Structure 1
């Protein structure tokens, strides 16, 4: 099943006043994971919905769709270790598996028996690892559904930017520490569709989050996830293919990294693939066109909701 949505131009603009980055930070709470401080946010009522952000950004990515989601769900998110307002230890073995441990422990600690997942980019790999654990009987909670946004679900069709390739090279440490704001903005803009590119304040906010607490110094460590995806492809793609819960992919087709090509591969490898394509939208659909993403997600949840006689 596939839907194609021509997004509304006013989508992003209507959500720009949903709150400042400072307000986002002030509305959060910190907890401890392995001796490190983790930034989190929780709001709303209803079934638990866990949002997992991408690389190299943070939970702030969800800020424009957050007010819509919290009207219908108990929404929970955090900045993963090494990202955003969470701690960014220098000598740390960052990995997708460790971030999955972080989410697993957090959800278990909150006493939740079942959660829905809405995930993006790096977060897609974290969700695939959690799906694999659930299928192995290793999760203390159930995953009720998963909705993926642009992410490298299949590493063979992932098309990283040059800066990402350089960060993952032997010279990654030098590239990471030497990253300038101008270089960051030039590369970051390439990820967006033509319809709703980031404005100056957006770029200021994303740069602040990236550099907060010496974030530039660890980018080359975080980006090891690209090699992890190749190493764990059988496990993570297999988990996606074996999944029994409802799954939807919302794809910004103008994404040069994991857009239309990733969606095509998804339809090839996943049975009864449920795909919503967003035209003229890039790698950050939830930031570029939050209303369209919310509408597609709301439709997904309504479709999978049990009827009154079940």
Structure 2
């Protein structure tokens, strides 16, 4: 497991209208844009990182308000604005074509990009444990409190213990997130007073019905290949989509943290475009990593 402090020290900076966006850019090959969930950061992808960098160029930002990116208290965190910041980063890196992997909140940002791709052609998308709408059933009660009128007050009451229990609730019974990982995730959440920004970020709940996310997915399905992966034990995404439209993995809400090897096989198989044997490719990656 990559130490989050090492991960953070390797970030690059992109400045967007005076706001710092931290991001990683590593590997060679087709561009894969990785968009993390909420609460989360680019470090959420660290278990997948060594299995993907040998095949893809990975672009992985800390979305504004998350990780080591700036977390301004007076700012717009609308999905459309987050998507525009990501699009501007891709333009800054002179990227004209990419594929997307988005988890949870990152899937919603990615779907905004897919609906308004601008100058970047998006060829394939994987959505991990995406939420289908802003209805209360798609959110835990803690998230509903944070997204409500008393969200700022409630954010001051969040402790490491409460956050750890939140992660336990969302993870699968056979793939628990380790105590060390929970501690690392907590430190990343608290960086730059991040707890106070959670109520602003969670306002995206009210955007989902307005942005008509289901229509966006349907409208773009014919021109863009899309993969939906849900954790079998995820209490959120299992309510969000019909059983026959997704691939299921025996995890909770965080397949990239709970069973990265299995998830990597599914992602490599979908995102490789040359028809190579993904099982052989994946085994070679594991061998090189272990060696």
TM-score normalised by the chain length of structure 2: 0.90
Answer 1 or 2: higher relative contact order, Cα 8 Å, separation at least 6. Answer: 1
The equivalences for 1:118-267 within 5 A come to 118-134=101-117, 139-156=118-135, 158-233=137-212, 236-243=213-220, 244-258=223-237, 260-264=238-242, 267=244
SS of match in other structure, 1:263: coil
Contact 1:251 1:263 survives alignment (8 Å): no
Aligned mates of 1:69, 1:161 — CA distance in 2? 31
Q: How many residues align?
A: 274
Partner of 1:47: 30
Aligned mates of 2:28, 2:98 — CA distance in 1? 13
Contact 1:128 1:237 survives alignment (8 Å): no
Could you list the runs of 5+ residues in structure 1 that have no partner in the other structure?
1-16, 268-272
Partner of 2:248: 277
Aligned mates of 1:102, 1:44 — CA distance in 2? 22
Q: Deviations over 1:4-60 (max 9, x none)?
A: xxxxxxxxxxxxx3x110111112111101211111001110011100001011111
Q: Deviations over 1:103-161 (max 9, x none)?
A: 11011111111000011000111111111113xxxx11100100110011344585211
1:184 CA displacement: 1.2
Aligned mates of 1:158, 1:65 — CA distance in 2? 29
Contact 1:157 1:261 survives alignment (8 Å): no
Partner of 1:13: none
Partner of 1:4: none
Q: Deviations over 1:237-270 (max 9, x none)?
A: 2221122111111111111111x232317x5xxx
Partner of 1:286: 256
Partner of 1:301: 271
Partner of 1:10: none
SS of match in other structure, 1:115: strand
Contact 2:41 2:63 survives alignment (8 Å): yes
Aligned mates of 1:64, 1:202 — CA distance in 2? 11
Q: CA 1:91–1:157 in structure 2 vs 1: closer, same or farther (change >3 Å)?
A: closer
Contact 1:79 1:85 survives alignment (8 Å): yes
SS of match in other structure, 1:88: coil
TM-score normalised by the chain length of structure 1: 0.85
Partner of 2:85: 102
Contact 1:113 1:142 survives alignment (8 Å): yes
1:203 CA displacement: 1.1
The equivalences for 1:49-88 within 5 A come to 49-88=32-71
Aligned mates of 1:110, 1:173 — CA distance in 2? 36
Aligned mates of 1:93, 1:155 — CA distance in 2? 18
SS of match in other structure, 2:182: helix
SS of match in other structure, 2:242: helix
Aligned mates of 1:106, 1:183 — CA distance in 2? 34
1:306 CA displacement: 7.2
SS of match in other structure, 1:190: helix
Question: What's the Cα RMSD here?
Answer: 1.6
Q: Which stretch of the first structure deviates more once superposed, 219-228 or 149-158? A: 149-158
Q: CA 1:254–1:182 in structure 2 vs 1: closer, same or farther (change >3 Å)?
A: same
Contact 2:104 2:128 survives alignment (8 Å): yes
Could you list the runs of 5+ residues in structure 2 that have no partner in the other structure?
277-291
